[in-house]
Amino acid sequence: MEVRNVSKTFTGDTGHVYALRNVSMHFDAGEFVAIIGPSGCGKSTLLRMLAGLDQPSAGAVLFHGQFIPEPNPRISMVFQNFALLPWKTVKENVLLALRTQEMPEQHKEHIANQLLTRVGLRNFERHYPGELSGGMKQRVGIARALSVNPEVLLLDEPFSALDEITALDLRRQLLDLWQEKRVNDTYVLVTHLVEEAVLLADTVYIMSPRPGQVIAKLKIDLPRPRFEHHRSKKFFQEVDRIQSILQKHSNITV
C-alpha cells in the first residue's frame, strides 16, 4: 500500500484549508504501521482515504498499484466508536460483514463462530451490543473486521474509548491475532498514544498538526513479543524519541 504526495483540502469560511499536505507513506506487506500525531493532524482523514471512504484532493492512494475509488473488500476497518448496529446481536453484526462474500452460509457461520471464540465472546453471540462492556464491543469490532479475511486492517484509534486496563488487554489480543495470522497481513493503526505506537508497531509515522505532514518515519526495532519488555529502558528510549519529535513540532499550533 502506498500514499503518494497526498494532499487534502477542505473549503471552509476562510477559503481552502489544508488538512493534509504532501503526505507520502509506504506500507510493506505484513508490516504493523502506526500513524501518530496530535488531534487535527488529519490522521483520521488519511485513514478514511486508505479505506476508500474519501478521496485525496491531490496525489494518490494506491493498493497493489491501483487507486481506491471505493471501499475494497480486501481492506477492513476497526472503528473508534465500535460502529456496531445496536439492533443486531453480536453474531449478526459479524455475519453482516460477511453478507457480500461469496461462500455458503454454513461457512460464514463457521468463520463467525471461530472468530468470536478467538476473541472470547462465543458465549455472548446472542447478546446485543447494548448489553456489552466497551471492551467487549471492540472485540466484536475486531472479530467483524477480521471475518472478511482482509489483507489490510485499518484501526482508527481503536482503544481510545476504553479504559487503560481494558485497552492494554485488547492490545495484547490484537498483537496475538496479527502474529498468528498470515505473515503478509498489514495493520495500519492511527493513534495519539506514543506508548501504544511503540508497543505495537514496526514502523511509526509521526505527523504534525494542521496542515498534516509527515515529520518523521521511525523503525521500532524492539524484539517481539514486546509485552514482556514494555517497561524496559529501551522501550522508554523509543517513547522519548517520538515524544521529543512531537514536542518540537507542537509549538506550530500555539
Partner 1 sequence: MRGGKAVWILLGLALYAFVLFKAWQFPQTRLLPYYAIASLSRLIMTYFICLAFGLAVGIFAAMNQRAGDIIIPLLDIAQSVPVLAVFPFAILFIVPVFGMTTATVIALFMSMAWSIVFGVIAGVKAIPQHMHDMAAIFGLRRMAYIKHVVLPSIYPPLIAGSILSFGSGWYFLIASEYITYGTTTYHLEGLGYYLNLASFHYANLWMSLAGLMTIAIVVLSIHHLVWKRLDQNSKQARFLNLHFGYEKGFDLPLHHLEQHPHHRVHFNRRHAHQWFFNLFKFNPTVYIIALAIALVAGFIITWTMGEGVIYPPLEVLLFLLLSASRIALAYIFAFILAVLAGYLLIRKPRTRRYLMPIADVMQSIPAIAYFPTLFLLLVSVVPVWLGMPVASILLLMTGMLWYMLFNIIEAVEHLPHDINEIADLYDIEGVAYIKNILVPAMFPALVTGSILAFGGGWNAIIVSEYVTYAGKVYSTPGLGSAMNYATINVGNTPTLLMLLFVMTTTILLLNHFVWRRLLNRASKYVLEDE
Cα separation, 142 vs 174, whole angstroms: 8
Residue that has been written with the C-alpha cell 476504553 in this structure? 162
Q: By CB under 8 A, tell whether 55 contacts partner 1.
A: no
Among 8, 21, 43, 48, the residue binding partner 1 under the rule CB under 8 A is 48
Strand-strand pairing, 75-78 and 213-219: unpaired
Q: By CB under 8 A, tell whether 99 contacts partner 1.
A: yes
Minimal distance in Å, beta carbon 162 to partner 1?
Answer: 16
Residue 200 has φ and ψ, to the nearest 5°, of: -100, -35
Stretch that binds partner 1, among 55-63, 117-125, 128-136, 161-169 (CB under 8 A): 128-136
Nearer to partner 1, 131 or 240 (CB): 131
Q: By CB under 8 A, tell whether 63 contacts partner 1.
A: no
Q: By CB under 8 A, tell whether 203 contacts partner 1.
A: no
Q: By CB under 8 A, tell whether 85 contacts partner 1.
A: yes
Among 100, 106, 244, 251, the residue binding partner 1 under the rule CB under 8 A is 100
Nine cell digits for residue 89: 446481536
Among 55, 80, 173, 243, the residue binding partner 1 under the rule CB under 8 A is 80
Minimal distance in Å, beta carbon 165 to partner 1?
Answer: 21
State the angle between helix axes of 134-147 and 164-180 in degrees (0 to 180), rounded to the nearest 10. Answer: 20
What's the Cα-to-Cα distance from 84 to each of 28, 70, 123, 160, rounded to whole Å?
A: 30, 21, 18, 16
Nearer to partner 1, 100 or 247 (CB): 100
Residue 23 has φ and ψ, to the nearest 5°, of: -90, 130
Cα separation, 22 vs 3, whole angstroms: 9
Q: By CB under 8 A, tell whether 67 contacts partner 1.
A: no
Among 10, 67, 87, 227, the residue binding partner 1 under the rule CB under 8 A is 87
Cα separation, 101 vs 118, whole angstroms: 21
Minimal distance in Å, beta carbon 131 to partner 1?
Answer: 8
Cα separation, 20 vs 11, whole angstroms: 13
Nearer to partner 1, 71 or 225 (CB): 71
Kindly list the strands in the beta sheet with 186-191, ordered across the sheet, starting from the edge strand earlier in the chain.
Answer: 75-78, 152-156, 186-191, 32-36, 203-208, 213-219
Site pattern 152..191 for partner 1 (x: CB under 8 A): ----------------------------------------
Residue 62 has φ and ψ, to the nearest 5°, of: -120, 140
| Contact positions vs partner 1 (CB under 8 A) | 48, 51-53, 70-71, 73, 75-77, 79-81, 83, 85-88, 96-97, 99-100, 128, 130-131, 144, 148
